[in-house]
Amino acid sequence: MEKQSIGTNATICPMPVTLVGSMVNDRSNFMTVAFISRVNMNPPLISMGLNKQSATREAVFKHRTFSVNFPSAGMVAETDYCGIASGKTTDKSGLFKVFYGKSPYAPMISECPLSFECTVVETHEFATHTCFIGEIVATYLDSSCVTNGKPDPAKIDPLLLTMPDNQYWRIGKPVAQAWNAGKKVQKRS
Amino acid sequence: MEKQSIGTNATICPMPVTLVGSMVNDRSNFMTVAFISRVNMNPPLISMGLNKQSATREAVFKHRTFSVNFPSAGMVAETDYCGIASGKTTDKSGLFKVFYGKSPYAPMISECPLSFECTVVETHEFATHTCFIGEIVATYLDSSCVTNGKPDPAKIDPLLLTMPDNQYWRIGKPVAQAWNAGKKVQKRS
């Protein structure tokens, strides 16, 4: 394949779309975050990059706890709004029905099929973003999104984001089973 | 929605699937990695969690450079194989056609439509994984995967992974434009 260099204006393809919950000025606040992934298996740690200018960065830094909510594709307008409107100047507390788990500083979204409650383990400062390392301390799943006792991604119907085309996507068709599809290559080698 | 607690056995939904390239015993080696995301906007930094037992962790720690390659859905068998077979005991150097950019320690995969070349900025040790913070120093894209001068996700046709159901997925239909779909909520509020 002919390759072209596109500088460094590229990113992970695609990114998961989440709404990160925190308490800003004593009200529940949600910010759209796609710079997020697992980073350690056991204990379950995640890395999350938050813009240093965001109200969420300040709130998570202060309260050391936050939530990660996975909106379904039908929630795309509200999800995108949470990435446009800053919690510093906008009250987003009425957008969703909120519930709480262990901490009063980690509001979670009832309408989101899957939510994590997290505590901050480490913080690392970079030029434009703060990287929070969080531990998942509890997970809440809609009973309607369970198949064979596990979260069912097709029922969760999560959102993806690609950049720089700035497009939200749904997940598509299942392709193969992991830790299985490669066995035929193993035999061939 | 009725919620059920599912402990902490859950992860980001969905995760992007990548093949991380490094030099192991003087041969090109590729490992399947889904614990990866952007973590800082400018400069472009990524976080990547690698199992401490992996040959890739050792190689990236030593050479301070690596590649991130995005396989298309048609490469699912070879991609999964790179997550099953360890570079410690398996020579995976013949699986793909390899090319190099700036560094001789960051082999990249010609068959993958999109590849990043990265240098290590920081490392953080956790219980089971090492978190590498890498800077994207160059990006290579198949000329056939460009639309309007940008990487075209539908043409890249990347793989996603969900756990604990261990399913690979394709991306599906576009849903809406980011930083735009939320404007109608803004007006309503």
Average pLDDT over residues A55-59: 98
Residue A60 lies in a domain: yes
Q: Which of A5, A142, A153 sits opposite B162 (nearest CB)?
A: A153
Chain B closest-CA separation from residue A18 CA (Å): 9
- What are the tens digits of pLDDT across the range B160-171? 999 999 999 999
Which of B37, B81, B139 has its CB closest to that of A47?
A: B37
Provide the number of structural domains found in chain B. Answer: 1
> What's the rounded Cα separation, in Å, for the pair A118 and A105?
10
Burial pattern A91-106, b for ≥16 Cβ within 10 A else e, equals: ebbebbebeebebebb
Structural domain contains residue B4: no
- Give B75's contacts (C-beta < 8 A, 6+ positions apart): B111, B112, B159
Average pLDDT over residues A146-155: 92
> What is the pTM (predicted TM-score) of this model?
0.97
What is chain A's percent helix, strand, coil content, to nearest 5? 20, 45, 35
User: Do A164 and B26 touch, CB atoms closer than 8 A?
Assistant: no
Q: Which residue has the tokens 């500083």?
A: A105
Q: Extract the tokens encoding B146.
A: 């460009």
The rounded distance, in Å, linking the Cα atoms of A174 and B170 is 7
Measured between beta carbons, the chain B residues lying within 8 angstroms of A34 are: 37-38
Query: Closest-CA residue in chain B for A71?
Result: B13
Interface with chain B: mutation pick from A67, A80, A119, highest number of B CBs within 10 Å: A80
> How far is A175 from chain B, CA to nearest CA, in Å?
5
Q: Which of A2, A5, A8 to mutate to test the interface with B (most CBs of B within 10 A)?
A: A8
Average pLDDT over residues B82-96: 96
Measured between its terminal Cα atoms, the distance across chain B in Å is 24
pLDDT-derived band at A81, boundaries 50, 70, 90: very high
In the predicted model, what is the mean pLDDT of residues A50-61? 98
- Quick one: pLDDT at residue B148? 87
Sheet holding A15-16, edge to edge: A15-16, A159-162, A167-177, B167-177, B159-162, B15-16
| A158 vs A154: CA distance, rounded Å | 8
Whether residue B149 is predicted with pLDDT greater than 90 in this model: the reply is no
B19 with B33: CB under 8 angstroms?
yes
Task: Answer whether residue B86 shows pLDDT above 70.
Answer: yes
Work out how many CB contacts closer than 8 A connect A with B.
385
In a domain, B7, yes or no: no
- For chain A, the maximum distance between any two Cα atoms, rounded to a whole number of angstroms, is 60
Residue range B7-64, pLDDT digits in tens: 887 789 999 999 999 999 999 999 999 999 999 999 999 999 999 999 999 999 999 9
Residue A69: beta bridge partners? A19, A115
Contact A129 B41 (CB under 8 A): yes
The CA distance from B154 to A13, in Å, is: 11
- Residue from B149, B138, B156, B152 nearest B18 by CA: B156
Q: Is the peptide bond before A43 cis (omega within 30 degrees of 0)?
A: yes
Q: How confident is the prediction for chain A on average, in pLDDT?
A: 96
Of the pLDDT bands very low, low, confident and very high (cuts 50, 70, 90), residue A189 is: low
B51: chain A residues, CB-CB within 8 Å: 41
User: Which residue in chain B is spatially nearest to A45 when comparing CA positions?
Assistant: B126
Helix (H, G, I), strand (E, B) or coil at B133: strand
Task: Quote the tokens at residue B163.
Answer: 């756990």
Q: 3-state DSSP call for residue B82?
A: helix
Contact assessment for residue B17 and residue B74, using Cβ atoms and an 8 Å cutoff = no
Q: Is pLDDT at B1 greater than 90 in this prediction? A: no
| pLDDT in the model for residue A1 | 64
DSSP state of A25: T
Q: Is residue B1 part of a domain?
A: no
Q: Which of A140, A156, A181 sits opposite B13 (nearest CB)?
A: A156
The verdict on a CB contact (< 8 Å) between A10 and B116 is yes
Q: What percent of chain B has pLDDT over 70?
A: 99
Per-residue pLDDT, A29? 98
- Report the gap between the CA of A111 and the closest CA in chain B (Å): 7
Residue A165 resides in a domain? yes
Give percent of chain A above pLDDT 90: 91
A6, part of any domain: no
Q: Which helix (H) or strand (E) holds B111?
A: none
- Whether A136 maps to a domain, the answer reads yes
3-class SS of residue B126: coil
pLDDT of B103 over the 70 cut: yes
Q: Of B47, B43, B53, whose CA–CA distance to B18 is shortest?
A: B47
Pick from A47, A146, A169: CB nearest B39: A47
Q: Which domain holds residue B61?
A: 15-188
The answer to whether residue B180 is domain-embedded is: yes
The DSSP secondary structure of B148-177, one letter per residue, reads TTEE-HHHH-BEEEETTTTEEEEEEEEEEE
Contact by Cβ (8 Å): B47, A126: no
Average pLDDT for chain B: 95
Q: In angstroms, rounded to a whole number, what is the distance separating the alpha carbons of residues B81 and B94?
A: 13
pLDDT of residue A159 exceeding 90 = yes
Confidence class for position B2, pLDDT limits 50, 70, 90: confident
| CATH code, domain carrying B119 | 2.30.110.10
